Amino acid sequence: MSFIGRDTKEGIFERFSSHVSQGKADFFRSVGIDFVFGKRTGPFVWDAAGSRRLINCHCNGGVFNLGHTNPGIVRVLVESLRELDIGNHHLVSEQRAMLAHRLAELMPGDISCTVFGVGGGESIDLAIKLARGYTGRSKVISAIGGYHGHTGLALAAGDEQYRSPFGASPPGFLQVPFNDIKVLTAEIDRDTAAVIFETVPATAGMPIADRNFFARAKAECARNGALLVIDEVQTGLGRTGSMWGIDHFDTVPDIMVIGKGLSGGIYPMTAACFNADLAAFFNDRPFIHVSTFGGAEVGCPVAMAVLDECSKPEFLEHVRTLSRIFAQGFSELKSRHPQILVGLRQLGLMMGIEMVNDSCGPVMSKACYDNGILSVYANNYPRVSQLLPPLIIDEALAYEIIERLDAALGDTAAFLGLV
Ligand SMILES: Cc1ncc(COP(=O)(O)O)c(C=O)c1O
């Protein structure tokens, strides 16, 4: 049985428009991206009509770190389905215990306990709940332009444009410029429960923090009895060439949230991880936070296989090799397109193509599409195009992506009259 190709592309667009989202269907039609995900494998995805192949450099923010339908990961899910199902979130679970133990081995510092979730936003919500519950305080400081998810507290910690139509936000949230230790220091006080940052804020255009920013933020938190929450939903699991993006900044957060890639692209799994001291908050209230599908047993072996793959030294070395190829490629592209390309914002394969103005990102997304690359721009800083290729691409494909980006930059510059 095949699930792909049961309807024509036009039929899919009509049905999607009527029953899922007319806005999305209209938008993609209007910009000439009438693409419907069809067959997918490794770094590639084909249009449902089979006529066009894209290299996935969006990867859903890291969901497809190991490529689409990675055979090893799929095999684990198939095996897992023979024996397991969702399980019962109220009870003690072998699968969740094994996965949380493995996470404890891989997490920085003394982080050793995990609460699982289904989505990144849910796990961010848990992180903020825990910070508030543990400290007994309510103030939460996050970055202007950041993104932590579409659910309650995560939404409140994110950028205003995603929450303003939905009424008043919960009280206690404050946003500060990312990577500005002075402003942050001035705002952290004895009412502060948590400071929450993405390691590299993707939606804000991939700014890379100063080397000492997070360590200083942690020190300021500690001085005031607040907690540092680090959102590694995109930067975790090898994306930056280290197991965790925050490793580059020699900082152990109080709470770390991971998601996206942990799913292996096939079974939703997210996690909020913290130390035993924080975990003690739940000792007297073990049923205060329950998630029916969070840490579903059938998905635990999948996440375990993802962790095994991403933590291999040779895997991380491969990511570092690829990131050097992109760094070199972009310094050449910069001399070829000085009128449009400002440079590459980069932490491993967490990359943002910085261009000269805010019209560039949207035009570049279309130009990338026309040149066989799926990539999106940073919604809160549209002069940056996000570039997140799967981590499993080989060197030849990295060079091919750079070549295609060369053409896309040329097309973007021509379209915008920047030649
Ligand atoms: C940095 C970051 N945090 C949190 C989230 C929320 O994750 P989810 O969409 O799985 O709820 C996202 C999603 O894009 C994200 O990019």
Q: Any idea which residue has 């996935």 for tokens?
A: 56
How far does Cα 170 stand from its chain's mean position?
A: 24
pLDDT, tens only, 374-413: 999 999 999 999 999 999 999 999 999 999 999 999 999 9
Structure tokens at 14: 């009509």
Query: CB of 262 within 8 A of CB of 102?
Result: no
Whether residue 297 is found in the same domain as residue 248: yes
Give a yes or no: residue 304 inside a domain. yes
State which of 287, 310, 333 marks the end of a domain: 310
For ligand 1, is residue 198 a contact (CB within 6 Å)? yes
Does the residue 79 lie in any domain?
A: yes
Within a domain: 87: yes
Distance CA 342, CA 173 (A): 33
One domain for residues 80 and 151:
yes
**Pair 115, 227 in one domain:** yes
Q: Are residues 97 and 196 in the same domain?
A: yes
Protein residue with least CA distance to atom 8, ligand 1 = 120
Question: Does residue 268 line the site of ligand 1, with CB under 6 A?
Answer: no
Residue whose CA lies nearest to ligand 1 atom number 2: 148
In the listed set 310, 331, 365, which residue is the last one of a domain according to the structure?
Answer: 310
| Pocket lining: 202 vs ligand 1, CB cutoff 6 Å | yes
Rounded Cα distance between 377 and 121, Å, is: 21
Asked if 260 and 301 touch (Cβ cutoff 8 Å), the reply is no
The dihedral built from the CA positions of residue 236, 193, 202 and 30, taken in this order, carries a sign that is positive
Spatial separation of the C-alpha atoms in residues 206 and 317, rounded to whole Å = 22
209 and 255, same domain (yes or no): yes
Q: What is the 3-state secondary structure (H, E, C) of 317-352?
A: HHHHHHHHHHHHHHHHHHHHCCCCEEEEEEECCEEE
Handedness of CA 72, 76, 78, 79 (dihedral sign): positive
Sequence-separated (6 or more) residues with CB below 8 Å from residue 288? 282
Q: Is the minimum distance from the CB of 289 to ligand 1 under 6 angstroms?
A: no
The DSSP element (H or E) to which 277 belongs, if any, is: helix 276-279
pLDDT of residue 49: 86
The confidence score (pLDDT) of residue 157 equals 97
286 and 139 share one domain: yes
Counting the structural domains of the chain, the total is 3
How much is the pLDDT for 50?
A: 83
Does some domain include residue 306? yes
Domain membership flag for residue 381: no
Same domain, 77 and 27: no
The verdict on residue 21 lying in a domain is yes
11/114 same-domain check: no
Residues 243 and 139 placed together within one structural domain of the fold: yes
Would the CB of 382 count as within 6 Å of ligand 1? no
My answer on whether 302 and 330 are in the same domain is no
Residue 220 · residue 188 · CB < 8 Å: yes
**Nearest Cα to 169, choosing from 185, 147, 153, 190?**
153
23-77 tens-digit pLDDT: 999 999 999 999 999 999 999 999 998 889 999 999 999 999 999 999 999 999 9
Domain of residue 328: give its range: 323-345+396-419
Please report the pLDDT score of residue 1 as a whole number: 86
- In sequence order, which residues have a C-beta less than 8 Å from that of residue 187 and are 6 or more positions away? 141, 174, 176
Mutate which of 118, 125, 142, 148 for ligand 1 pocket (most atoms within 8 A of beta carbon): 148
Res 419: pLDDT: 81
Is 352 within the bounds of a domain?
no
Same domain? For 85 and 48 the reply is no
Mark the ranges of the chain whose per-residue pLDDT is less than 50: none
Mutate to test the pocket of ligand 1, among 116, 162, 260, 269 (most ligand atoms within 8 A of CB): 260
DSSP H/E element including 29: helix 22-30
**Which of 56, 81, 96 is the last residue before a domain boundary?**
56
286 and 138 belong to one structural domain: yes
Residue 358 in any domain: the answer is no
